[in-house]
Amino acid sequence: MLLAAILDLARGYLTVNIEPLPPVVAGDAVTLKCNFKTDGRMREIVWYRVTDGGTIKQKIFTFDAMFSTNYSHMENYRKREDLVYQSTVRLPEVRISDNGPYECHVGIYDRATREKVVLASGNIFLNVMAPPTSIEVVAADMPAPFSRYQAQNFTLVCIVSGGKPAPMVYFKRDGEPIEAVPLSEPPVASSGPLQDSRPFRSLLHRDLDDTKMQRSLSLLDAENRGGRPYTERPARSLTPDPSILFQPTTENVPETVVSREFPRWVHSNEPIYFLRHSHAPGSDGTVEVRALLTWTLNPQIDNEALFSCEVKHPALSMPMQAEVTLVAPKGPKIMMTPSRARVGDTVRILVHGFQNEVFPEPMFTWTRVGSRLLDGSTEFDGKELVLERVPAELNGSMYRCTAQNPLGSTDTHTRLIVFENPNIARGTEDSNGSASGPPGIRLTLVLALTVVLELT
């Protein structure tokens, strides 16, 4: 033992440790500090960044006492006869890619011989956090129709990207946190309304009154009698007015009705919410989190309800938030080009907005009142209806646009006015708007051309 102590004294001593660091935020300046104590002469200091699970060590700083007398990288505390030192490495703007282990290796000369070097090392794991960079709330499986006769499940998806570690995501309704039942798997689409045994709390006071209830019941009574609500279709009279030639291309029917028929399956109690989270790691070390909030939609209560998705993350000083308001479409704004359609023109009828902000995205269906569309179909799905080479027969025809989302639907109508085209003689266009003439005229032209050729 005495011999071992003598040999140890001959070699000198060396201890190395790196000061621990709390998690840091990407973009901050970080200083790694390596403290070491020794009574020997300095040989070298080497800093490594360790990657690939420890299999690769990347040298990021080296001090070699044999070829340099610059000690500016070290701070001498001048304690214990100059035996305490500190080597620092500064990362001015740390990135997510800097996350991982680092090692500080120190070597001193053996006291017995300068040909031997005593080595010691310390290590630290640099944990780099990153706040989320984006957040948005979307509706799943949209666009979707308004269901009058069957309850349907509705899902909001909150997508949070760019965070490390994964943030905590939760929902609020009208500013109040939502108590949701956690789900590990998505609900089955065909399973019907979601059920839970927790007690209900009535939300009837939020959006219902006697007028709405009476209106809803009156619509149901109309259906039970076999009839249709009077708002479903406009008047069928298409007789053009003599002053129609002085009107614009389309005549907007003033009546725009929101179809809000609430059948008896609709409940007036608070819905049961179900919440599911999914995580998708990115190649840069961040995580995309998706929070899915699902419940059985009640248009009576959920229309105009404000839902917000909030995110908490250790790199954020305050929660990150995105919000949406569930709103049924109301008052589609119709635009038609050209503004003065003539026989043979291609007419485009487009929905370019609503009287309100609509969420989720609605779906659009076009029909021609009392007849088929120009291409022979009964309806067309899309935001824009295109009528190619309109014939004169379409003058005064009325078109219905139905815009709907799961909160409700609305119908608006417009009448097409087709003016004469001076470049096309009256009666020389077919049902597709292309120029042609009666068979007798076409035959006369052919015979006349034949006679001219023979005379020539």
Phi and psi at residue 278, to the nearest 5°? -135, 145
Between 81-95, 154-168, 378-392, 404-418, the lowest mean confidence (pLDDT) is in 81-95
Is the confidence at residue 445, as pLDDT, over 90? no
pLDDT of 241 > 50? The answer is no
Helix residue ranges, H only, 152-284: 204-207, 210-224
| Residue 271: predicted pLDDT | 87
Tell me the CA distances in angstroms from 206 to 237, 265, 447, 448, one per residue in order. Answer: 41, 19, 80, 81
Q: Report whether 155 contacts 293 (CB < 8 A).
A: yes
Mark whether 111 and 35 lie in a shared domain. yes
pLDDT at residue 333 greater than cutoff 60: yes
Q: What is the per-residue pLDDT for 124?
A: 95
Do residues 57 and 122 share a domain?
yes
Among 76-80, 169-173, 249-253, 312-316, which stretch is predicted with the lowest mean pLDDT?
Answer: 76-80
CA distances from 321 to 137, 151, 327 (A): 10, 30, 20
Are residues 177 and 277 part of one domain? Answer: yes
Q: So what's the pLDDT on residue 223?
A: 43
112 and 18 together in one domain: yes
Radius of gyration (Cα) for the chain, nearest Å?
A: 39
Residue 428, pLDDT score: 54
Residues 327, 307 contacting (CB under 8 angstroms): no
Structure confidence at residue 21 (pLDDT): 94
Q: What percent of the chain has pLDDT over 70?
A: 68
State mean pLDDT over 336-360. 93
pLDDT on residue 115: 75
- Over residues 194-209, the mean pLDDT reads 44
Q: Are 157 and 139 in contact (CB under 8 A)?
A: yes
DSSP 419: B
Residues 148 and 79 in one domain: no
Q: Is residue 451 part of a domain?
A: no
Q: Are residues 374 and 277 in the same domain?
A: no
Residue 425 has pLDDT above 70, yes or no: no
DSSP state of 373: -
69 occurs within a structural domain: yes
Assess if residue 233 is contained within a domain: no
Task: Say yes or no to pLDDT of 243 above 80.
Answer: no
pLDDT in the model for residue 48 = 95
pLDDT-derived band at 395, boundaries 50, 70, 90: very high
Structural contact between residues 387 and 349, judged by C-beta atoms closer than 8 angstroms = yes
Specify the pLDDT at position 149. 82
Same domain, 171 and 61: no
CA dist 435 and 208 (Å) reads: 58
Give pLDDT, residue 196: 53
pLDDT at res. 14: 87
pLDDT of residue 185: 73
The residue with greater pLDDT, 263 or 132, is 132
* Residue 355 resides in a domain: yes
pLDDT the model gives residue 42: 83
Residues 18 and 113 in one domain: yes
Question: Is 191 contained in some domain?
Answer: no
Residue 46 pLDDT > 70: yes
pLDDT-based confidence at residue 23 (cuts at 50, 70, 90): very high
Tell me the pLDDT tens digit for each residue of 280-323.
Answer: 999 989 999 999 999 999 998 999 999 999 999 999 999 999 99
What's the mean pLDDT when you consider all of the chain? 77
Domain of 164 in residue numbering reads as: 134-183+272-326
Predicted confidence at residue 202, as pLDDT, reads 39
Q: What are the DSSP calls for 56-68, one per residue?
A: EEEEEEEEETTT-
Q: How many other C-beta atoms are found inside a 10 Å radius of the C-beta of residue 58?
A: 11
Same domain for 42 and 119, yes or no, is: yes
| 190 domain residue, yes or no | no
CATH of the domain at 114: 2.60.40.10
Which pLDDT band holds residue 110 (cuts at 50, 70, 90)? confident
User: Mean pLDDT: which of 56-70, 186-200, 238-252 is highest?
Assistant: 56-70
- Polymer length of the chain: 456
Of 105, 129, 153, the residue at which a domain comes to its end is 129
Kindly indicate the confidence band of residue 267, based on its pLDDT and cuts at 50, 70 and 90.
low
Closest by Cα among 139, 149, 402, 180 to 274: 180
* Residue 201 belongs to a domain: no
412 found inside a domain? yes
314 and 166 part of one domain: yes
Q: What pLDDT, in 10s, does the model give residues 75-98?
A: 443 343 446 788 999 999 999 999
Q: How confident is the model at residue 439 (pLDDT cuts 50, 70, 90)?
A: very low
Mean pLDDT is lowest, of 114-118, 251-255, 370-374, 413-417, for 251-255
410 close to 259: Cβ distance less than 8 angstroms: yes
Q: What is the pLDDT of residue 286?
A: 95
Tell me how many domains the chain contains.
3
pLDDT of residue 295: 96
Q: Are residues 69 and 157 in the same domain?
A: no
By the 8 A CB rule, do 104 and 16 touch? yes
* Domain shared by 142 and 94, yes or no: no
Query: How far, rounded to the nearest angstrom, does the alpha carbon of residue 39 sit from its chain's CA centroid?
Result: 62
Amino acid making up residue 343: V
